[in-house]
Amino acid sequence: MNKFDFNDILIKPAMVSNIESRKDINPFYNGFLPLITAPMDTVIDIPTTEQYSNLKITPCLPRGEQWVGGKVFSSYSLTEIDDIIKKTNNPIFSKRNGYYLIDVANGHMAKMVSLVKEFKRLYPHSKLMVGNIANPETYIELSEAGADYIRVGIGNGGGCSTTVHTGVGYPMGSLVRECYLASCTLKNPAKIVADGGMQNYSDIIKALALGADYVMVGSLFNKAIESCGDNYLWKHIKVPQSIAELAYKYKIPVYKKFRGMSTKEVQKKWGKEVFTTSEGVIRFRKVEYTLKGWVNNFEDYLRSAMSYSNAKTLGDFIGKADIIQITDNAYNRFKK
């Protein structure tokens, strides 16, 4: 069976919607939008964490920037988690409300499954996100191991070149949908976090409609003036954040550095002496908006999509919207 991506589908409106106003719609989980920052060092760092939280986005910090307290995910490598588990009752993980990510490019390893089981045995009250994976059967395996959130998607992100170089991957539309259908068969399914390749608002909304509980966003957030990526005027002159914000205010082109977390630049930052082949890219992205402006637009578009689908809550919308597949000609008709 052919697999599909976001451009291959549309959300079909409900036959009749009982929603008369978008104000009747609740697009939040306990006050937060279904969005998580990608743990990329050109998207978020500790100083920018509060900005994302204030805009109702769940922060997920890149490796090396740990946070204790509040709903902020801290990221660790597989080796780091393994070392921590060997030191049982580690105070970093003993807090009841801790949020942690095992940040691994290949989440299909047997070691990942065993570490999830052991981590949840030792720290049952902590929330654990794992990934990335690109196989619905792996989603089942990690859910049953006890993972609370699973990042699905490999090679689709704006900073990732895994699929183009290795041929490994899974079209995001089908991957999210099949993981959602699998989740419906499980007693305690992990939250599905669609991660990678979101090019616009509609991609995120389609991911939710297909069954993602959350969408992880990196590239789109990097293009906001508030992101933590280094700032450049005309791609050549590096400037501090204060100058970048002033230039953007007066419509002087500002560019943000954007890089994948498997690039050799990042490996060097992490102190590695032997570099692996990079499966990431480095680009300069023109700043297009403020983070607040982008979030306000997203919230409005999500409310609109939910109203068309007769869904007042995320629970009514996620995985339950009516999806139809379309041809390339149909896509090109409305693509602007």
First to last CA, the chain: 30
> Out of 60, 160, 179, 228, which one is annotated catalytic?
160
| Distant-in-sequence, close-in-space partners of 274: CB < 8 Å, separation ≥ 6 | none
d(CA 107, CA 105): 6
Cα dihedral 31→53→154→105 (10° resolution): -130
d(CA 150, CA 261): 18
d(CA 158, CA 224): 15
**Contact indicator for 309, 17 with CB cutoff of 8 Å:** yes
> What's the Cα-to-Cα distance from 98 to each of 129, 142, 145, 191, 275, rounded to whole Å?
11, 19, 18, 16, 32
Element housing 284 (H / E): strand 282-286
Give the tokens for residue 38. Answer: 């990608």
The DSSP secondary-structure symbol of 7 reads G
Residues pairing with 224 in the sheet: 289
Element housing 331 (H / E): helix 328-334
d(CA 265, CA 268): 5
Q: How many CB atoms lie within 10 A of CB 332?
A: 10
Task: Verify whether residue 179 is a known catalytic residue.
Answer: no
Q: Which residue has the tokens 């995910």?
A: 73
> What's the Cα-to-Cα distance from 186 to each of 177, 181, 248, 314, rounded to whole Å?
15, 9, 48, 20
- By annotation, the residues acting in catalysis are 160
